[in-house]
A and B are shown apart, each in its own frame.
Chain A
Amino acid sequence: MKLPRLPLAFVRLLIQSVFLALGQIWARKGRSVLTTIGIVIGVASVTAVIAALTGLRANVLADFESIGANKIFVIPDWPDHGPRQHAPWKEIMLWPEQFDGLLEHCPSVQHFSRIDHSGTTARRGEDSLDVQLIGIEPPWHEIENRFVTAGRPFTLIEHSAARAVCLITAQVRDKLRLDRDCIGQRIILRNRSFRIVGIIEPAAALGIFGGGQRSQEVFIPFRTSYKMSGGPIYGIAASRSPELSEEAQAELRFFLRRQRRLQPGEPDTFRAEAIQKYIQAFMGMAIMITLIAGGIVGISLLVGGVGIMNIMLVSVSERTREIGLRKAVGARPSAILLQFLVEAVVLCLIGGLIGVLIGQGLTSAMAAIPQAKLHRAYIPMWAIGLSFGFSALVGIVFGMFPAIKAARLDPIEALRHE
Chain B
Amino acid sequence: MMIRLENVTKVYRVGVERIHALNGISLEVAENEYLAVMGPSGSGKSTLMNILGCLDRPTSGTYQLDGKLLTRMGAGGLASIRNQRIGFVFQSFELLPRLNALKNVELPLIYSGLGWYSRRRRARAVLERVGLTGRMKHRPNQLSGGEKQRVAIARALIVNPRILLADEPTGNLDSRTSEEILALFDQLHRQGQTIIMVTHEEHVAGHSKRIVQMKDGRIWSDLPRHEGPPGSADSAGGEGGSP
For A333, list chain B residues within 8 Å (CB). 75-76, 79
For A332, list chain B residues within 8 Å (CB). 75-76, 79-80, 111
Q: Residue on A with the closest CB to B112?
A: A3
**Residue A125 is within 8 A (CB to CB) of chain B in the complex:** no
Number of interface residues of B (CB under 8 A): 27
Q: Residue on B with the closest CB to A1?
A: B84
**Residue A9 is within 8 A (CB to CB) of chain B in the complex:** yes
> Given the complex of chains A and B, what is the CA–CA distance between A30 and B96 in angstroms?
22
- Interface segment out of the listed A138-146, A246-254, A279-287, A321-329: A321-329
> Given the complex of chains A and B, what is the CA–CA distance between A58 and B82 in angstroms?
62
Across the interface, do A8 and B113 meet the contact criterion of CB distance under 8 Å?
yes
Across the interface, do A330 and B113 meet the contact criterion of CB distance under 8 Å?
no
Partner of A415, one of B83, B84, B94, B160: B94
Number of interface residues of A (CB under 8 A): 29
> Given the complex of chains A and B, what is the CA–CA distance between A10 and B110 in angstroms?
10
For B98, list chain A residues within 8 Å (CB). 23, 27
- Closest CB of chain A to B180's CB: distance in Å? 23
Q: Which of B69-117 contact A (CB under 8 A)?
A: 75-76, 79-80, 82-84, 88, 90, 94, 96, 98, 107-108, 110-115
Partner of B113, one of A9, A321, A329: A9
Across the interface, do A322 and B96 meet the contact criterion of CB distance under 8 Å?
yes
For B112, list chain A residues within 8 Å (CB). 3, 9, 330
> Given the complex of chains A and B, what is the CA–CA distance between A377 and B55 in angstroms?
59
- Closest CB of chain A to B139's CB: distance in Å? 13
Across the interface, do A16 and B110 meet the contact criterion of CB distance under 8 Å?
yes
**Residue A160 is within 8 A (CB to CB) of chain B in the complex:** no
Across the interface, do A12 and B115 meet the contact criterion of CB distance under 8 Å?
yes
- A-B contact number at CB 8 A: 76
Q: Residue on B with the closest CB to A331?
A: B111
Q: Residue on A with the closest CB to B107?
A: A329
**Residue B50 is within 8 A (CB to CB) of chain A in the complex:** yes
Across the interface, do A331 and B84 meet the contact criterion of CB distance under 8 Å?
no
Q: Residue on B with the closest CB to A329?
A: B108
Across the interface, do A5 and B111 meet the contact criterion of CB distance under 8 Å?
no
For B94, list chain A residues within 8 Å (CB). 321, 325, 328, 415
Q: Which of A386-418 contact B (CB under 8 A)?
A: 411-412, 415
Across the interface, do B55 and A328 meet the contact criterion of CB distance under 8 Å?
yes
Across the interface, do B82 and A328 meet the contact criterion of CB distance under 8 Å?
yes
**Residue B155 is within 8 A (CB to CB) of chain A in the complex:** yes
> Given the complex of chains A and B, what is the CA–CA distance between A224 and B230 in angstroms?
129
Across the interface, do A329 and B111 meet the contact criterion of CB distance under 8 Å?
yes
**Residue B196 is within 8 A (CB to CB) of chain A in the complex:** no
For A129, list chain B residues within 8 Å (CB). none
**Residue B159 is within 8 A (CB to CB) of chain A in the complex:** yes
> Given the complex of chains A and B, what is the CA–CA distance between A411 and B86 in angstroms?
14
- Closest CB of chain A to B192's CB: distance in Å? 15
- How would residues 189 to 203 of chain B score, 1 for a CB under 8 Å from any chain A CB and 0 otherwise? 000000000000000
Q: Residue on A with the closest CB to B95?
A: A325
Q: Which of A1-18 contact B (CB under 8 A)?
A: 1-3, 5-6, 8-10, 12-13, 16
- Closest CB of chain A to B113's CB: distance in Å? 3
For B108, list chain A residues within 8 Å (CB). 329-330
Across the interface, do A330 and B96 meet the contact criterion of CB distance under 8 Å?
no
Across the interface, do A330 and B50 meet the contact criterion of CB distance under 8 Å?
no
For B128, list chain A residues within 8 Å (CB). none
Known: A334-B76, A411-B55. A329 touches B84 (CB 8 A): no
Q: Which of B168-187 contact A (CB under 8 A)?
A: none
Partner of A330, one of B56, B111, B115, B160: B111
For A106, list chain B residues within 8 Å (CB). none
- Closest CB of chain B to A203's CB: distance in Å? 69
> Given the complex of chains A and B, what is the CA–CA distance between A412 and B160 in angstroms?
22
**Residue A335 is within 8 A (CB to CB) of chain B in the complex:** yes
Q: Which residues of A contact B (CB under 8 A)?
A: 1-3, 5-6, 8-10, 12-13, 16, 23, 27, 321-322, 325-335, 411-412, 415
Provide a sorted-by-A list of 25 A–B residue pairs whose CB atoms are within 8 angstroms. Answer: A1-B84, A1-B160, A6-B113, A13-B110, A13-B111, A13-B113, A16-B110, A321-B94, A326-B111, A327-B82, A329-B111, A330-B79, A330-B80, A330-B83, A330-B108, A330-B111, A330-B159, A331-B79, A332-B75, A332-B76, A333-B75, A335-B111, A412-B50, A412-B56, A415-B94
Q: With A329-B88, A329-B111, A332-B75 given, can you name 19 additional A-B contacts, CB distance below 8 Å?
A: A1-B84, A1-B159, A1-B160, A2-B84, A3-B112, A3-B114, A12-B114, A13-B110, A16-B110, A27-B98, A327-B79, A329-B82, A330-B79, A330-B111, A331-B79, A332-B79, A333-B79, A334-B76, A415-B55
Q: Which residues of B contact A (CB under 8 A)?
A: 50, 53, 55-56, 75-76, 79-80, 82-84, 88, 90, 94, 96, 98, 107-108, 110-115, 155, 159-160
